């Protein structure tokens, strides 16, 4: 199966930026003849809001999105797939591709300020600890699990590229990123790779603030499922929606959710058409807009949403 997906976190109402990205993911999938799946990324229980899934699904359908069923269900939840993530981590561990890390965020932040350190890159503090040292540190704090990325003789991280339909080639060094947090929860990069592969997702459309993670995810997908599986993924990182001050749109910006805009008299059809207009697509049902859809004609800059102009 070939599929695209939209994967929100059920942490509350979707705002215009979320709905616009979901609409783009739908357009890309249908334009390329793929199925379109919905996945709720609910691994962070503290951020999950009761009832948010149903509300988000209702909002997405209200602006025209349709989803293909998965085993008879309209969506999947990451919280119901924990055994799959555990299996993937065990496979990597058996291959010698993980190590325990006892560093706090502060430890890493301070280490990367040292001379000759690469800013933002894990410094390898726990990569080669002895068993005795690991045992001592386990008594002090629980460990996270990091990927043991392949490094050259100088310790440099591998440079990995991912192709993007809008941004071209994205190349970054793949760090020893976290696979499992120290509370035992699977990390984002691992969960999305496992989910995408096992549900047939080979097209990833999401905000361009996540573009830098594509090479790491492609690298991990190759380790778990082979180079061919990694190479088949098509990425499209789309521009974000900004507020009038030029910051990424957020619910704190006021009337930026469907429910808030309906309260101001904006119908679902008008909201859909507003989003389509921001993409330079004709108003009306998404199936009609699909006939005019061309990824290479999409606006390349962010859309600035100005509530006062409604």
Identify the pLDDT of residue 46: 85
**Taking Cα atoms as reference points, which of 185, 100, 86, 93 lies closest to residue 141?**
100
Tens digits of residue pLDDT in 72-95: 677 899 999 999 999 999 999 999
Identify the pLDDT of residue 36: 97
The 10 Å Cβ neighbour count of residue 104 is: 12
Which tokens sit at 54?
């149903």
Cα gap 206→236, rounded to integer Å:
7
Record: fold of 3-79+242-309: Rossmann fold (3.40.50)
- Contact partners, residue 248, CB within 8 Å, separation at least 6: 17, 209, 240, 241, 242
Q: In what order do the strands lie in the sheet with 76-77?
A: 3-6, 35-40, 76-77
Identify the pLDDT of residue 138: 92
127: helix, strand or coil: coil
- Contact partners, residue 177, CB within 8 Å, separation at least 6: 122, 146, 147, 149, 187, 189, 216
Identify the pLDDT of residue 1: 73
Which tokens sit at 259?
């429910």
- With pLDDT > 70 as the criterion, what percentage of the chain qualifies? 95
**All structural domains of the chain with their residue ranges:** 3-79+242-309, 81-238
Q: Which residues pair with 10 in a beta bridge?
A: none
**pLDDT band for position 251 (50/70/90)?**
confident
Query: Model pTM?
Result: 0.92
Identify the pLDDT of residue 119: 60
Tens digits of residue pLDDT in 94-140: 999 999 999 988 888 777 665 555 666 788 889 999 999 999 999 98
Cα gap 113→228, rounded to integer Å:
38
- How are the residues of the chain apportioned to helix, strand and coil, as percentages rounded to the nearest 5? 40, 20, 40
Which residue spans within the chain are E strands per DSSP? 3-6, 35-40, 76-77, 98-101, 144-147, 159-164, 168-173, 178-180, 203-207, 234-238, 241-242, 303-304
Identify the pLDDT of residue 114: 55
Category of 244 on φ-ψ map: left (φ > 0), alpha (ψ -120 to 50) or beta = alpha
Tens digits of residue pLDDT in 45-67: 888 899 999 999 999 999 999 99
Identify the pLDDT of residue 156: 75
What are the residue ranges of helices labelled H in 63-139?
Answer: 82-94, 105-111, 131-138
* Same fold? 3-79+242-309, 81-238: yes
Record: fold of 81-238: Rossmann fold (3.40.50)
If you average pLDDT over residues 266-281, what whole number do you get? Answer: 96
Tens digits of residue pLDDT in 29-43: 999 999 999 999 999
Identify the pLDDT of residue 69: 85
Identify the pLDDT of residue 276: 97
Cα gap 227→250, rounded to integer Å:
37
């Amino acid at each position: 199966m070939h599929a695209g997906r939209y994967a929100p976190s059920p942490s509350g109402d979707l705002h215009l930026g979320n709905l616009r990205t979901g609409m783009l993911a739908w357009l890309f999938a249908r334009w390329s003849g793929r199925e379109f799946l919905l996945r709720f990324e609910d691994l962070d229980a503290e951020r999950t809001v009761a009832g948010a899934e149903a509300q988000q699904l209702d909002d997405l359908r209200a602006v025209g999105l349709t989803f293909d069923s998965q085993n008879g269900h309209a969506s999947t939840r990451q919280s119901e797939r924990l055994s799959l993530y555990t299996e993937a981590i065990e496979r990597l561990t058996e291959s010698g591709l993980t190590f325990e890390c006892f560093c706090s965020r502060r430890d890493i932040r301070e280490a990367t300020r040292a001379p000759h350190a690469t800013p933002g890159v894990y410094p390898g503090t726990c990569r080669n600890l002895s068993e005795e040292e690991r045992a001592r540190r386990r008594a002090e704090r629980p460990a996270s699990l990091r990927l043991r990325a392949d490094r050259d003789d100088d310790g440099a991280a591998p440079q990995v590229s991912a192709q993007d339909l809008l941004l071209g080639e994205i190349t970054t060094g793949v760090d020893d990123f976290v696979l499992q947090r120290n509370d035992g929860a699977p990390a984002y990069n691992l969960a999305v790779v496992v989910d995408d592969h096992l549900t047939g997702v080979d097209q990833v459309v999401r905000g361009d603030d996540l573009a830098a993670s594509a090479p790491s995810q492609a690298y991990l997908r190759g380790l778990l499922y082979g180079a061919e599986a990694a190479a088949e993924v098509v990425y499209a990182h789309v521009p974000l929606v900004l507020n009038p001050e030029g910051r990424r749109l957020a619910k704190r910006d006021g009337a930026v959710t469907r429910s808030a805009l309906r309260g101001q008299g904006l119908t679902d059809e008008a909201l859909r058409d507003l989003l389509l207009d921001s993409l330079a697509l004709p108003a009306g049902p998404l199936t009609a807009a699909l006939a005019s859809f061309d990824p290479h004609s999409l606006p390349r800059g962010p859309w600035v949403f100005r509530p006062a102009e409604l």
